[in-house]
Amino acid sequence: MKVLIVGGGFAGLKLSRTLSNKKGIDVTLLDRFNYHQFQPLFYQVATAGLDASNISFPLRKVFHDNKNITVRLGKLLEVVPQENKIKTDLGEMDYDVLVLATGADTNFFGNTELMKNAFPMKSSWEALQLRYQLIRNFEDATVIKSPDELQKHMTIVIVGGGPTGVELSGAIAEMKRDVLHKDYPELDFSKMKIYLLEGSPRTLAAMSEKSSADSRRYLERLGVTVMTNTVVKNYDGNTVTLQDGTTIVTNTVIWAAGVKGNVPPGISQDMIVKGNRIKVDRYNKVLGTNNIYAVGDLAYMETPLYPHGHPQLAAGAIQQGKNLAKNFLQMQKPDPKLVEFEYLDKGTMATVGRNLAVVDIPKPKLHFRGLLAWMIWMSLHLMLILGVKNRLFVFLNWLYNYFTRDQSLRLLFGNQPQRDH
């Protein structure tokens, strides 16, 4: 079986690793980057808590000791199902089985002004661009004379009250409290404003009401202005306009309000649903195809427990990749016994700051908050990071930051970030 996997995220990587060194299966892994990115910690890269290399791992290094996996660095341009091939910037590649694990990207909901002016954070590169913007803002603020212009540089707006928005807001608030006044003693950080805007009635809407209430209380304790039931209508690069006509003048808007699947050209539009996800059956096979599969954030699967699709989480992507690999191995047998997929929810969590986190566990139904939840959050993320060296560096960074409340990663490299996507 010649398996072509597009995407080295959580789902694609788990699928590839499970198929490693399995007889009768030849795997090619295609990705735009030559490394796996640990997305849950992008916000720490953006706020100078970690270096991008700490949460990235070379794909080729993952497969040093395998005999059946080939890694290719390239971009998928089009799927040609009728010919069992794809078109890439490397040329054409054929397959017996195609697995789309291209993940999701930022969803600006068709607003071109937001797309042009707001900062997304769905890759290590985008996180580094955001870090540059945050630091550059304060460097510029030291020489600004106009009070209005100064306030614009010292106002940060985060849109989206999910885990990314909550964690990013908390991290920036801790920078304000512990570090920035030391770096820039000439600035009055009591005037710095951090807004978290959420369209639904509460933050962390996918978690329990207790977690939502705790996260909001933690954020407000750190000095973040949390505004729920607040919809952003537009941002022109200088002013955020809300649905009710209210405006916020700012130089920096971070967009964490939604994701959409990266569907490649060639997939039938009839198979694409809300959120730009591809409809698949219980075996992750794309409906209407014989040998094309979709996994992770890209896959939309209706099941008895999740009639509106599974949550787009790393845990779900990993579970889908593992289940699909087992089914591929079953297909090699004369009497294959394929297993339908169902997401096993082991719990959800989010961190707000130092000793501040929330954890929900469904069975038994438990809720943790504060220091214990924060330690659970750290332990799980350390286990999920690839590479002993990366785990060690992340742990040492966290340990150093815990005792010093500071990091030495607020460095400016390169030129002004480009926000036009």
Note the pLDDT of residue 417. Answer: 55
Question: pLDDT > 70: what percent of the chain?
Answer: 98
Note the pLDDT of residue 416. Answer: 55
CATH 3.50.50.100 residue ranges in the chain?
A: 112-257
Q: Is 416 exposed, middle or buried (0-12, 13-18, 19+ CB in 10 A)?
A: exposed
Tally of residues, the chain: 421
What's at 45, amino acid-wise? V
CATH architecture of the domain covering 112-257: 3-Layer(bba) Sandwich (3.50)
- Asked if 385 and 391 count as a contact pair (C-beta separation under 8 A), the reply is yes
- Asked if 339 and 329 count as a contact pair (C-beta separation under 8 A), the reply is no
Note the pLDDT of residue 387. Answer: 85
C-alpha torsion angle, residues 183, 188, 190, 196 (rounded to 10) = -70
Q: Return d(Cα 386, Cα 59) in angstroms, integer.
A: 10
CATH 3.50.50.60 residue ranges in the chain?
A: 2-32+74-106+259-331
Residues of the chain where predicted confidence (pLDDT) is lower than 50? 420-421
**Nearest one of 40, 127, 61, 124 to 382, comparing CA atoms:** 40
Q: Return d(Cα 100, Cα 11) in angstroms, integer.
A: 9
Model confidence over 159-201: pLDDT tens digits?
999 999 999 999 999 999 999 999 999 999 999 999 999 999 9
Note the pLDDT of residue 414. Answer: 61
Note the pLDDT of residue 208. Answer: 94
Note the pLDDT of residue 65. Answer: 87
Q: Return d(Cα 413, Cα 276) in angstroms, integer.
A: 35
Strand partners, 98: 4, 292
With both helix axes pointing from N to C terminus, report the angle between 314-331 and 10-19 in degrees, rounded to the nearest 10. Answer: 30
Note the pLDDT of residue 164. Answer: 95
The two three-digit tokens of residue 331, written as one number: 């297909």
Contacts of 401 (CB under 8 A, 6+ apart): 49, 407
With both helix axes pointing from N to C terminus, report the angle between 163-175 and 209-221 in degrees, rounded to the nearest 10. Answer: 20
2-32+74-106+259-331 is classed CATH 3.50.50.60: yes
**Nearest one of 156, 247, 161 to 199, comparing CA atoms:** 161
Note the pLDDT of residue 421. Answer: 44
